[in-house]
Amino acid sequence: MAAPHRTRVHPDPRREALRQRLRQQTRRALIGDGPAVGVDIGGTKVAAGVVDGDGRVVAHVRRETPTKSPQAVEDVIAEVVEELSARHEIVSVGIGAAGFVDADRATVLFAPHLAWRHEPLREAVEKRVRARLGRRVGRRTLVENDANAAAWGEYRFGAGRGESRLVCVTMGTGIGGAIVNSGRVQRGRYGLAGEFGHMIVVPGGHRCECGNRGCWEQYASGNALVREARELARADSPVAHGLLERAGGDPEAITGPLVTAAARAGDAAAVELFEDVGRWLGIGIANLAAALDPGTVVVGGGVSDAGELLLGPAREAFRRTLTGRGFRPELTIVRAELGPSAGLVGAADLSRGWG
Ligand SMILES: [Zn+2]
């Protein structure tokens, strides 16, 4: 009798995971822990470096991000890879990009700040590097979402070391999010997990660049901090005089680092602005705890430079909001340790076949 016909719509996820793990182990055995190039593409700067097996950046280059042309950005990436590989025997290349990266870690589906739409970034960079050098650099090139890359850096070499259930929240202009479970980045079914910044926390709230309203990053990010500070300054309230003075009297000249410096110097309005952003951060982390139950949340990005001015109010709001509080173990909220190089360190290490 013939075996019953079975239609397979999706491959068995367990077998798929096993296959992926085996592939990864093979790759790691082949590639080892040699020096890898990490590239972090930001809206204004391309930062790249050679990262050794202990997560140290042993060489570093920086370029301006060229305007809006994706091809020009790819040229710059190829240029820095060429430069860095001239003096180091590179085993692999990892590129961290702010955007939605597909599950194969090859194509940027959408990058709001870089005009990339279904851009086959891995192929484009490999082609350019080959054209410049007449050979490949390293055994492989990999593209990763920048927040995933930064989280991996913190997990391997920074504030997330030893944590088996880690969540990272990167507070830059927006919010970057990532999940690392049992030594693997959780990318979701389509590569798009961890976009915490676009969870809606205030229905009908502030308009977000993503097109929705009331996203978390509209309340807990560098942009939110600056927006509120400028609004306060424009209202000409006496409490904002300290901030205005630092900005030379122009509310539009207020920046995130300016508010941070003012808060550190004890300016009451600046401290309050961090309390507000911190509160939103804590509420969002309580939501993440409800969904993911991590042991540690690492908070990175420029806004985290304010340290306890941000994290103190965040912890307080977190404790007040956490579901089941008082009857459950609580996660710890800590500041990232690797600073602005987390992304390139993580991207380089992931390209070796980890994560
Ligand atoms: Zn949004």
Instruction: Report pLDDT digits (tens) over 82-132.
Output: 999 999 999 999 999 988 999 889 999 988 777 788 999 999 999 999 999
Question: Are the C-beta atoms of 194 and 294 separated by less than 8 Å?
Answer: no
Tens-place pLDDT, residues 252-309: 999 999 999 999 999 999 999 999 999 999 999 999 999 999 999 999 999 999 999 9
Ligand 1 centroid – CA 111 distance (Å): 13
How many Å lie between the centroid of ligand 1 and the Cα of residue 61? 32
Rounded distance from Cα 68 to ligand 1 centre (Å): 21
How far away, in angstroms, is 54 Cα from ligand 1 center? 36
pTM, two decimal places: 0.90
Whole-number Å distance, alpha carbon 176 to ligand 1 midpoint, is 11
Query: Which residues, chain by chain, have CB under 5 Å from ion ligand 1?
Result: 198, 208, 210, 212, 215
How does residue 10 score in pLDDT terms, banded at 50, 70 and 90? Answer: low
For residue 2, pLDDT over 60 is answered with: no
Least Cα distance to 65 among 47, 78, 88, 52 occurs for 47
pLDDT recorded at residue 145 = 95
Average pLDDT over residues 45-54: 95
Find the 8 Cα to ligand 1 centroid distance in Å: 36
pLDDT over 70 at 3, yes or no: no
CATH class name, domain 162-336 = alpha beta
Give the containing element (helix H, strand E) for 57: strand 57-64
Model pLDDT, residue 12: 72
Looking at the predicted structure, is the pLDDT value of residue 71 above 70? Answer: yes
Q: Where in the chain is the domain with CATH 3.30.420.40?
A: 32-155+342-351, 162-336
- Residue 282 has a pLDDT of 98
Tokens of 209: 């660049």
Phi/psi of residue 58, each to 5°?
-95, -10
- Under a CB-based contact definition with an 8 Å cutoff, are residues 281 and 310 in contact? yes
How far is ligand 1, taken at its centre, from the CA of residue 314, in Å? 21
Predicted confidence band of residue 30 (pLDDT cuts 50, 70, 90): confident
Amino acid 281: pLDDT: 98
Q: What confidence score (pLDDT) does residue 286 get?
A: 98
Closest listed residue to residue 194, CA positions, set 85, 99, 269: 99
Using a pLDDT cut of 70, give the percent of the chain over it.
Answer: 95
Q: What is the pLDDT of residue 67?
A: 75
**Alpha carbon of 196 to ligand 1 centroid (Å):** 9
- Per-residue pLDDT band at 138 (split at 50, 70, 90): confident
Percentage, residues of the chain above pLDDT 90: 77
139 C-alpha to ligand 1 centroid (Å): 37
The pLDDT of residue 26 is 79
Tokens read off for 292: 């993911």
> Are 226 and 243 in contact, with CB atoms under 8 Å apart?
no
Ligand 1 geometric centre to CA of 234 (Å): 25
256 Cα to the center of ligand 1, angstroms:
20
| Whole-number pLDDT of residue 111 | 84
Give the single-character DSSP code of 120. Answer: -
CA of 71 to the centre of ligand 1 (A): 27
Q: In the prediction, which pLDDT does 5 show?
A: 54
The rounded Å distance from CA 229 to ligand 1 centre is 21
Instruction: Report the separation in Å between the CA atom of 173 and the middle of ligand 1, taken as the mean of its atom positions.
Output: 12
Mean pLDDT of all residues in 310-322: 97
Q: How confident is the model at residue 11 (pLDDT cuts 50, 70, 90)?
A: low
C-alpha 218 – ligand 1 centre gap (Å): 7
C-alpha 272 to ligand 1 mean position (Å): 24
Please check the confidence at residue 221 and state whether its pLDDT lies above 70.
yes
The mean predicted confidence, pLDDT, of the chain is: 92
Least reliable range by pLDDT among 65-74, 142-151, 201-210, 228-237 = 65-74
Ligand 1 centroid to Cα of residue 198, in Å, is 4
| DSSP-assigned letter for residue 332 | E
Distance 217 CA to ligand 1 centre (A): 7
pLDDT band at 151 (very low <50, low <70, confident <90, very high): very high
For residue 137, the CA-to-ligand 1 centroid distance in Å is 37
CATH architecture of the domain covering 32-155+342-351: 2-Layer Sandwich (3.30)
Burial readout 300-317 (b: 16 or more C-beta within 10 A, e: otherwise): bbbbbbbeebbbbbbbeb
Q: Give the Å distance between the CA of 216 and the centre of ligand 1.
A: 7
Lowest mean pLDDT among 32-41, 86-95, 131-140: 131-140
